[in-house]
Structure 1
Amino acid sequence: PAGVPYPPFHDVQMAVDGPAARALSELARWRWERASCEALPAIAGRSVPWPERVEPDFRDIAIGISRTLPDYPGEGEVREVEALYEDMIGSARETIYIENQFLTCARIAGRLAQRMQEVPGLQAVIAAPRIHHSWVEHHAMAPGRIRFMEILRAAGVGDRVRLLHPQASADGATADVMVHSKLTIVDDRLLRIGSANLCNRSMAVDSECDLVIEATGEAERRVIRGIRARLLGEHCGVAPEEIERRLGETGSLLAAIAGDGSGDRRLWPVDDDRPIATEQGWSLAAFADPRRPLPATGLIERTLAPVKARWRGLLRLAPIAIAALLLALAWSTTDLAGWAHPDRLQQSLHGLSGTGWAAPLVIAAFVLGGMVMFPVTVLIAATAAAFGAWPGLAYAGAGALVSAVAGYLVGRLAGESALRAAMGPRLHRIRDGIARRGIVAVATIRMVPVAPFTLVNLVAGAARIPVLDFVLGTALGLAPGLLVLSTLGDRLLSILTDPSPARIGIVLAVIGAWIALSVGLQALVSRRRRDPG
């Protein structure tokens, strides 16, 4: 191509006429119609002459056709190729000669190993490419070839099998011969040529067609032996008669192809690189050489589904984004930020002390603050400073829990579809992970504020985290802060500025007790879920 010689290429084809050609033409027209929805008319009343320069190897002989057709809706699958391979191998008595581009089907390897165990004198020669055509192809198919040979070695028959690749030299240069043929010769009785590789996909995924000839007399056996000798002679760089002479003298196919490799043509052992059989290689093989057809229905839709879901999620989250933008503008352009100062908030709440409206108004303030993403820590500190350790602790705890539940309900009712569309399967993984260790997970998020209080509430509701886990986890997660802020009140600043060892020890003890309580409650809840009785 483009004036550049390509490396040596080896292939084998079969030409037929008569009823076999007619059967192939019917199969080709049927395949064309199924693929293109266009019917091709049969060519009637026309005789195609046999090519003048092609001497036929067989005359007036039956031709068998074996096919692979994957399972389509409304049509059953056809696995004649696989069945024929198994039957041919199962009938072998002396020799099996194979030329094939790919060698990955473990089922065929197992059948070959079984037959060679049954017939101790059976020998097999397999000609294949040294490496495959591209990096992806080699890394996808070589692991299967390594496994194919390991199956034979594990069965104890590896010493009677040769996996070889042809090589050619000319003008001081040497190149590997690309083996593209799909040929199998069993003894001198069966000759098979076609399209099917010895790989998984040729057995059930691709559409394949092979032709097979079974010798019924000595004349036909002699022709099959001659074809085998021509092929092996080409690869070994010797005349076909020499191959037949060696085979007649030694009775061994392996001995007949043995040579010193000094000629222009030779067969060398294939030495696959075992590191190729890695997790990456097997992952490629699962896609490139599947045992069953990959589901094609909706393949493009499934491929694009994450992208579509992400865009749908972004569109559905647009109102939330707009609300967040308006909230940010409110914080920057109004006096809302001023209310976040503890002193100002404390003064406002202090006026409620001693009235019957203190508790409901404080709880309402927490709920409203949660809706506008007001810092919950500021509310807790201001409540403690205004009402003291008691009832400040009760007011702050009740307000924080009610605000959390309100945000949870908003997320569950309004945010589920948007969040699921935006996060997709991740939402389910997060939900499942928290469901297994829900209390500890929620408490940890509360203790280590990786996200704003309100956002955690919305996400928990949208992810449908169990209410019990959410409430208990929120209570445990807020407990240390509530205790410290409510107990210390306006003395918190002095602790932060003068952290004595005793004060640090108290804080660490509170945190340790909180962790132990969280883990214990999670274990109790998990046990009750496993055993409701």
Structure 2
Amino acid sequence: MDAANTILQNDEVYTLKSTARYAAPVVDCANYYRALHEAIEKAQRSIFIVGWDIDSRVRLLRGEEEKASELPSVISELINLKASENPDLRVYLLRWDSSLAFFGMREIWAKEVWDEKTPENVHTVLDGSIPMGGSQHQKIVIIDDELAFSGGMDVAVHRWDTREHRLVEPERDDGDGSYGPFHDVQVAVSGPIVKELSKLVRWRWNRLVDETQQITESTEQRHPDNTDQLPNCWPQSVKPLLENIDCAVSQTIPFMDDVEPVQEVRKMLLALIEQAEEFIYIENQFANRGEIAEALNRRLKACPKLRVLIVSSYQPKGTMETEAYWAGRIDFKRILENGIEDERVLVAYSGSTNKEGVEGQKRVHAKVMVIDDAYFVIGSSNLSNRSMSLDTECDLTFVASTEKHREQIAWFRNDLISEHAGWSVEDVQSFIDGENTFKQLTQCKEKYAYCLHEADDKIFTDQSLQQLLTPIGDPQEPIVPSIPLFNGKRLSIPNPSKRGLVITATIVIIALLVGGGYLLSQNVDWMSKDHLQALLESLRDSPWAIIAVCGIYIIAGILFFPVTVLSLAVAMVFGAVWGVIYGMAGVMASTAVLFFFGHLIGDKGLRSFIGPKINKIDKKFAENGIFGVAVIRMIPIAPFSLVNLVAGISSIKLVYFLAGTFLGMLPPMIIKGVVGGSIADIIRDPTPKHIGLLVGGLVAWILLAYGSQKLVNYFQNTRGKSKNLEQSATEVHEQV
């Protein structure tokens, strides 16, 4: 069978075809992250990373390697160092803008995080153009336009693991708790194929940015394609497996406003299945696409010698995954096995039990298909509905043209099966060549080794929710259909951005708190101004008055009750002098309590939730200190309680925050005392004097707000000029 002529002549199954001078599958994330660290270390001109996620917190090295490395292990620190040392290095990070479904797993303010942690030659874009329900699922890295990685691996949390997949592994913890064994596959390539992937990545970038951010550099490689040497940036830990092998890049691209849909991945996988004669090996996170199962079943019936082995995950995570994917795998398996002898098909997972009796299974995230010893695919695509039509995907298909290629492809397949089944590579090949292949593969060679077990998904679901949740969890089309326009085109509705969702949710929460406080004050007797005033009047002559007032302020602060209304009520009851004293005591007590409450929330996760926004508040407090707090208090730009909570999350010290609050709240509190006392006096005795005090207090209140704003503007302008003068002096000094 001339594999190259069979597949690569069909231009409907790929975006482009080319040749890999060198190609090396990289198995499991410990190996990939190490290789990525080495490649970034050697980068001289450019780094492109396209991913479902690019998490700034991920440690690329672990254990002794991390301790021994002279360079940072955390990817953001590594890129920051490289970009700072080499201003000519350009780094481009293209990450999916995410979905509400992954709210707790990913950095919410991803762009701001990267912008804050790296210099100006590191550029970040969030892809929010994918239709609603879809995702940016390609995982591509390109270094200096000479080396490319592509496959199933992202720079994301809960991915790192070694090929041993120990059931208890301390390094499988990204700071938010441990996770189980995790398996994945990437491929490293060099040669002409990298030029084509470079063009693809640049196209992805340029369609998302304005003209000022377009990438126009030449994609010419400085490393000649015809040399036998590896590129300078090739990772030292990766040994090439194949040389001069033909390959093709297949994509899934959903319909977007400026792009016509592409379903090359789907067509390529179906075409490859039609080439199979003896053995198909598949590793995939999901296997629920009925069309793929039907194609496999047809080919099994057409080729009596053909066998199919699929290795996937075992335990689902959550109801959505259970009903959208595991329930679908029940149907997939039923279609696949229909009319086929049991020994010819196996859908399995890899599990183990250690000496301590701990049981576990690998979470398979790889997307691999090997057809006989003629073709293999390493990509980002799952055997799911969304990967065939709705997500953006990128698969690389390698095509054998020599006997050596075939031997190497067979070895790669057997090496993967060996990891899952616990048998040697040689044993695996003998089982494939012999009879009862799957019966032998599923026998455990060693008591504590990983073994293959047939998957039985019916223990997880009765499929009762499958029809309801599959269109949401694994849709073939956008959840919200595109809108037809008058010019005959259609407008796609993208996913709402995570940043927009957070901002909207924050505004809604604040509005509900403020509005709820107002409604309570209007409709609940004990929360009304009259009730509060009556309560305060009952305490007027009590020795516990100041303690009671502080307690009321604390409760009102927690309920986001307007502090101005409360302060006026206190002044009306206790008068202009004692009203100010008691009011300031209550303000300081409420401030301290909510500060500590905000600090507690921050320690439990609110800081990571808000992200760099908190860092910016930190910077404001650090630059302005007590004065900055005082200005915020005099100019009510945010609710009193919200400012207290945010301050607790920031790095400002309580003593400074209280001092700034005292200085900022005292002037308006004095005016509120005058106004509140005047209102009480007018109620009792509406004389011209009392009316004049009221009018004067209101005017003073307005002038205070206006004057505070002017003072802030003057301060900021003066400070800005000073910084510019300081910067200019520094530049002159450097030139001299």
Is 1:284 aligned to 2:469, yes or no? yes
Task: Measure the CA separation in 2 of the matches of 1:241 and 1:279.
Answer: 44
User: TM-score w.r.t. structure 2 length?
Assistant: 0.39
Task: Measure the CA separation in 2 of the matches of 1:85 and 1:60.
Answer: 23
Could you say which residue in structure 1 is the equivalent of 2:717? none
185, 190, 195: which is aligned to 2:375? 190
Is 1:179 aligned to 2:364, yes or no? yes
Is 1:228 aligned to 2:413, yes or no? yes
Could you say which residue in structure 2 is the equivalent of 1:40? 215
180, 187, 193: which is aligned to 1:14? 187
Is 1:129 aligned to 2:313, yes or no? yes
Which string of whole-angstrom CA distances, capped at 9 and with x for unpartnered residues, describes residues 144-166 of structure 1? 11110111233445552101001
**Within-5 A mapping of 1:79-478:** 79-156=263-340, 159-172=343-356, 173-248=358-433, 250=434, 253-260=437-444, 262-273=447-458, 276-294=461-479, 295=481, 297=492
Q: Is the 8 A contact 1:146 1:274 kept in 2?
A: no
Q: Is the 8 A contact 1:195 1:210 kept in 2?
A: yes
Task: Measure the CA separation in 1 of the matches of 2:352 and 2:257.
Answer: 47
Is 1:2 aligned to 2:175, yes or no? yes
29, 49, 64: which is aligned to 2:202? 29
Change (3 A) 1:27 1:277: farther
Task: Measure the CA separation in 2 of the matches of 1:256 and 1:217.
Answer: 30
Higher Cα radius of gyration: 1
Aligned AA for 1:196? Answer: S
Task: Measure the CA separation in 1 of the matches of 2:472 and 2:466.
Answer: 10
Task: Measure the CA separation in 2 of the matches of 1:210 and 1:93.
Answer: 22
Task: Measure the CA separation in 2 of the matches of 1:275 and 1:4.
Answer: 24
The secondary structure found in structure 1 opposite 2:308 is strand
Task: Measure the CA separation in 1 of the matches of 2:289 and 2:449.
Answer: 32
Change (3 A) 1:46 1:133: farther
Change (3 A) 1:298 1:67: closer
**Structure 1 position 298, deviation (Å):** 5.3
The secondary structure found in structure 2 opposite 1:14 is strand
Q: Is the 8 A contact 1:149 1:158 kept in 2?
A: no
**Structure 1 position 274, deviation (Å):** 6.3
Change (3 A) 1:61 1:133: same
The secondary structure found in structure 2 opposite 1:60 is strand
**Within-5 A mapping of 1:68-87:** 68-87=252-271
Change (3 A) 1:12 1:45: closer
Aligned AA for 2:444? Answer: D
Task: Measure the CA separation in 2 of the matches of 1:143 and 1:97.
Answer: 22
Which string of whole-angstrom CA distances, capped at 9 and with x for unpartnered residues, describes residues 394-423 of structure 1? xxxxxxxxxxxxxxxxxxxxxxxxxxxxxx
Q: Give the structure with the larger strand fraction.
A: 2
Aligned AA for 1:82? Answer: R
Q: Is the 8 A contact 1:168 1:175 kept in 2?
A: yes
Q: Give the structure with the larger helix fraction.
A: 1
**Structure 1 position 271, deviation (Å):** 0.9
Is 1:54 aligned to 2:238, yes or no? yes
Which range is displaced more, 60-69 or 274-283?
A: 274-283
User: TM-score w.r.t. structure 1 length?
Assistant: 0.53
Structure 1: 5+ residue stretches without partners: 305-533
Could you say which residue in structure 1 is the equivalent of 2:580? none
Task: Measure the CA separation in 2 of the matches of 1:146 and 1:28.
Answer: 37
Could you say which residue in structure 1 is the equivalent of 2:646? none
Structure 2: 5+ residue stretches without partners: 1-173, 224-230, 483-491, 502-736
Task: Measure the CA separation in 2 of the matches of 1:102 and 1:125.
Answer: 14
Which string of whole-angstrom CA distances, capped at 9 and with x for unpartnered residues, describes residues 273-295 of structure 1? 26725342221111111222332
Task: Measure the CA separation in 2 of the matches of 1:4 and 1:300.
Answer: 29
Which string of whole-angstrom CA distances, capped at 9 and with x for unpartnered residues, describes residues 15-35 of structure 1? 111111121121112122234
Aligned AA for 2:188? Answer: A
Task: Measure the CA separation in 1 of the matches of 2:467 and 2:349.
Answer: 23
The secondary structure found in structure 2 opposite 1:183 is strand
Q: Is the 8 A contact 1:152 1:158 kept in 2?
A: no
Q: Is the 8 A contact 2:297 2:336 kept in 1?
A: yes
Task: Measure the CA separation in 1 of the matches of 2:432 and 2:267.
Answer: 30
Task: Measure the CA separation in 2 of the matches of 1:236 and 1:33.
Answer: 45
